[in-house]
Structure 1
Amino acid sequence: MSQAGPILFVSDAQRPAFVAALDEARLFPVVDSDWAGAARAVEAVQPAAVLAAMHAGHEPHVTLLARKIADQSPYVPLVALNAAGMLPHNALPFSSRGGNPDRLIARLRAALRVRTLHATVLRRLPEAKVTLPAGDPARDATVLLIGRGAAYPALSVALGERVGVVGALSIEAAAKHLNTRDLDGVVLAEGFTARVTDAFLTVLAEDTRFRSLPVIVTAHQLAQTYDLPNLELIQGEPAKVAANALPLIRQHAMEAQLSRTLRSIDAGGWLDPRSGLLTTEAFARDFAKAVEQTLARGGGLSVARFAFDPNNSRAQLDAARILSRLMRQMDFGAAQRDGSVIVVFAETDFRTAHMIARRLSAVMRHTSNGKHEMRSDPVVSVDSLSPSDTARSLLARLSADASRAAS
């Protein structure tokens, strides 16, 4: 795989064989640096990615190196090899078990695809009416936590302090979440046999939808290799597992954010890069047009409003992401400034719309986090267009119905 820059390898020791294999294969030209000169080497070499061997003695330099890499644009992945303790926020963990260079190549290729996507977005932004969402992409990430052992509650809290968490006590429940939600990582905790873990990882690896998903295993040694570039074994206290899993989760959330931004650019800026739904302006335009056309030619049009606690902005974002994934192609929606999400069901009567809205709200109820915010239970109101309606009157009636339902 070609990339605009070499790989910088940081270590105070000789290259291990699996890193030397990258250079020998001529897939990734590798430049060496010791820890003392690592930050300067980033400026001089302008690497596409950095591999850092986290052995004793790196501690005085790792924070400076991580900060220097975080300031680079486009995205420069930092892969931390065989880290024993807590990692910097942008250091992707990598355990070189078995010394197999294929795993490292797969990890690098997955990370460099995110770099390429970032460069593409930066190149196209000046010509578009779109702004790349600011802040840490991890704040919008959602992780599926699967487990049923004693460590599950502590892991749920440790992860929930950093990202949104969807919990599953069984592999069957986890499969439902994988099929209905946009996830930025999976944490497979204790409570399952090695055979069940192997079967689950095999199924993930065989499904192209989950090929790049970060998968963190906390309770078992891995029995074999899997075609999952971002699969990592992280053991230890829940706080360490959460902190060291976060960089992989953040990278996936960044990739998803960049992909939504590209779709927004392609749509002329009418899609919201955070939610994947229409912007409020585009929604108002399309809704007025849909009401006008339905009244002119007949047919059905229904609207559902999902209202959330205004103090829990994360619930609104999760709902918008779910709707952008699950709603039909002919439907459209937007996150509103009052904390609600509105979706329009084209050619749909009230009864069918009510059934669809009920199913969607059931999916929304499963996200929680460790900051004492409970599950996202929306107040749902549904209404249909009548011959005397305008777009404004239908939305006003929908909001009034929601207020009565909440009180």
Structure 2
Amino acid sequence: MALLGPMVVVAESPATDFIDVLGKAGAFPVAQTRWGDVPAAIAETQPVALAVAEPQAKPSPRHVDAAIDCIETRGGPIMPVIARVDTSSTPAIPGALPIAINESNERLIAQLRWALRIRTLHATVLRRSRAAGATKKVPTFVPPDLLEDAAVLCVARGGSYLALSAAISERAGLIGALSVETAARYLNARDVEGVLIGDGLGPRVAETLLTMLAENARFRDLPIGVLNKVTADDERLPNLLRVEADAVRLVERILPFVRLQAFAGQLTRALQSLESEQAIDPDTGLLAAQAFWHNLERAVQESEESGAALAVARFTLDGVVDRRAYVDAARLFSRLVRNIDFAYREQDGSIVAAFTKTDLRSAHLLARQIASVLRHTMLSPGRDRRAIKPTITLAALKPTDDLSTLVARLGAHPQVAAE
């Protein structure tokens, strides 16, 4: 896959070698500019991406602010920003994807291609949203608050785990695992936006985990941060980052990748919503309220006509007041329901689900299984999984029921359906 479209490289001195790498990968044209001329270069070149070539660059705050303002106000789709960094430097532009100066050219290009694939997805969603006249607007740049709903899997033991988990939990959702087996269970059960691998796992464990991630197309593009003495590598993983002996630095390096991965997830849900004519809630992947009540009303009518069983359930997360946990539970729930079932999230965070062609006994077993997965897999407030206590209220359709009487036994009200 060639890099499509022009690029702007920011450097105060000639960056011939770096520009040559980009050119050989298919970027054309590639224009170099100084920090003070970044806005003018972007306006003239209209690049698909911007690259900061010098790891120790110290542009003036005025020049940085002007560059940021230009990036965020130029309209979509997004323009990914990459920045070369050494062991002690941080990108001059906050949110830029930091790429180590000693990283291979192949991985640098792979990371850039990954970012440009998300740009292409963004362009598609923007175009479809405008054509559909969607009521919820798609942002034209990567929202800064996306980390609030992102989940990062931390696999480590001992002091390494404590350092990594403390650093990541301040900025994003934390999922902890002390073994590859536990990590695999989380990865298979839910979506994550990044993986951190620390010390204390044994000499072959990290290699096994990286191989598992590389062999599954679903995980291959995930941002993966590796700390300290872990020497395993896999060239199939484009977003593999390494930092020696500094957990905080590793977390700082991986978070821009996690944020962009979270944006890709948001765009995917937005596209699903557009394809369903906005019947799907782009925040959760569950049905929007109006679509849910419409579908449930139709399911009640069909069950009355055919005699098929129908059950509904309300899942309440007692003790959970954290918005991040509510959103995560709803997104996880969307992966757990069967193809014949549907659900939506209420304003208080509760989830109402309909189990079609399912009697009360079978619905009870199914609801308990879902509740168990939620309890053991969703993000936990304050990292205390004991605080997660899903409460289930079940009701089955009776011959004398209509929609209102059925859901009344759950404590829910079909307000939208009645409008």
**TM-score normalized with structure 1 length:** 0.89
Q: Is the 8 A contact 2:210 2:232 kept in 1?
A: no
The corresponding residue for 1:314 is: 324
* 1:70-124 C-alpha deviation (Å, 9 max, x unpaired): 33421111111124344454211212435x3211121111100111111111111
Q: Which runs of 5+ in 2 are unaligned?
A: 413-419
Once the two structures are superposed, what CA deviation does each residue of 1:115-167 show, in whole Å capped at 9, x if it has no partner?
Answer: 11111111111232341466533222111111112132342232222222211
Q: Which amino acid aligns with 2:136?
A: T
Does residue 387 of the first structure (1) align with residue 399 of the second (2)? yes
- Aligned partner of 1:404 in structure 2 is none
Cα distance in structure 2, aligned partners of 1:62 and 1:191: 40
Q: Once the two structures are superposed, what CA deviation does each residue of 1:278-330 show, in whole Å capped at 9, x if it has no partner?
A: 10010010011111111221122222211125732222211111121121111
Query: Does the aligned pair in 1 maintain the 2:56–2:89 contact within 8 Å?
Result: no
Mean alpha-carbon deviation: is it higher for 245-254 or for 119-128? 119-128
Q: Which residue of 2 aligns with 1:403?
A: none
Match of 2:182 in 1: 173
Q: After TM superposition, give the deviation of residue 4 of structure 1 in Å.
A: 6.0
Q: How does 1:71-110 map to 2 (within 5 A)?
A: 71-72=73-74, 73-83=76-86, 84-87=88-91, 88-97=93-102, 100-110=104-114
The residue number in structure 1 matching 2:115 is 111
8 Å contact from structure 1 (residues 7, 31) kept in 2 = yes
Q: Does the 8 Å CA contact 2:199/2:227 hold for their aligned counterparts? A: yes
For residue 386 of structure 1, give the secondary structure of its aligned residue in structure 2: coil
- Out of 156, 180, 183, the position equivalent to 1:147 is 156
Aligned AA (1:170): S
Once residues 221 and 135 of structure 2 are traced to their aligned partners in structure 1, the CA distance between those partners, rounded to angstroms, is 26
CA distance in 2, matches of 1:14, 1:205: 36
Matched, 1:44 2:49: no
Question: Aligned pair 1:192/2:204, yes or no?
Answer: no
Q: Could you tell me whether the CA contact under 8 Å between 1:7 and 1:50 is conserved in 2?
A: yes
Q: Where do 1:248-259 residues align within 5 Å?
A: 248-259=257-268
Work out the CA distance in 1 between the residues paired with 2:202 and 2:73: 42
The letter for the 2-side match of 1:76 is M
2:295 to 282, 286, 293: 286
CA–CA separation in structure 2 for the residues paired with 1:220 and 1:132: 45
The CA RMSD over aligned residues, in Å, is 2.5
For 1:370 and 1:327, how far apart are their aligned partners in 2? 23
**Which moved further from structure 2: 128-137 or 344-353?**
128-137
Contact (CA 8 Å) 1:142, 1:183: kept in 2 or not? yes
Q: Partners of 1:350 and 1:277 in 2: how far apart?
A: 22
Partner Cα separation in structure 2 for residue 26 and residue 221 of structure 1:
33
**2:210–2:233 CA contact under 8 A, matched in 1:** no
Aligned to 1:228: 237
Quickly say closer, same or farther: Cα 1:139–1:169, change in 2 above 3 A.
same
Q: Deviations over 1:10-55 (max 9, x none)?
A: 2234426454122134345422123333343223322111111343
Higher relative contact order (CA 8 A, sep 6+): 1
- Report the Cα distance in structure 2 between the residues aligned to 1:225 and 1:18, rounded to whole angstroms: 23
SS at match of 2:51: strand
User: In the aligned structure 2, how far is the partner of 1:224 from the partner of 1:159?
Assistant: 22
